[in-house]
Structure 1
Amino acid sequence: MLDSMFLLIPLSLLFVLFIAVALWWAVFSGQFEDANKAGESILQDDDSTGVDEK
């Protein structure tokens, strides 16, 4: 059982480090700058078909 702990603890630390680096990259590369843009684009969509209705 102790042998598996020597394997699992470093692996879990590497996993946490990977998650921290990925989050740091996402925050500082602007991934969360405009989180509402996609939701608002649905409301501002032009639904006209281009055919003049009479």
Structure 2
Amino acid sequence: GSASYIAAPTAMRIAVPEANPALGVAAALAVTFPFNLLVGIPLYLWWAQAMA
């Protein structure tokens, strides 16, 4: 979901206590940010135009 970058550090801390929390945030953003640019923005633009 869109809040995966918030939940990722906690999930990583529970699953792998010795893991670096910054790595979890970076990995989540590496997936969600490009997805939002490539899919989210055009989808939102289409939706906004359809509503206008």
**Fold match (TM-score > 0.5):** no
Highest Rg: 1 or 2?
Answer: 1
**More relative contact order, 1 or 2 (CA 8 Å, 6+ apart):** 2
Q: Which has the higher helix share?
A: 2
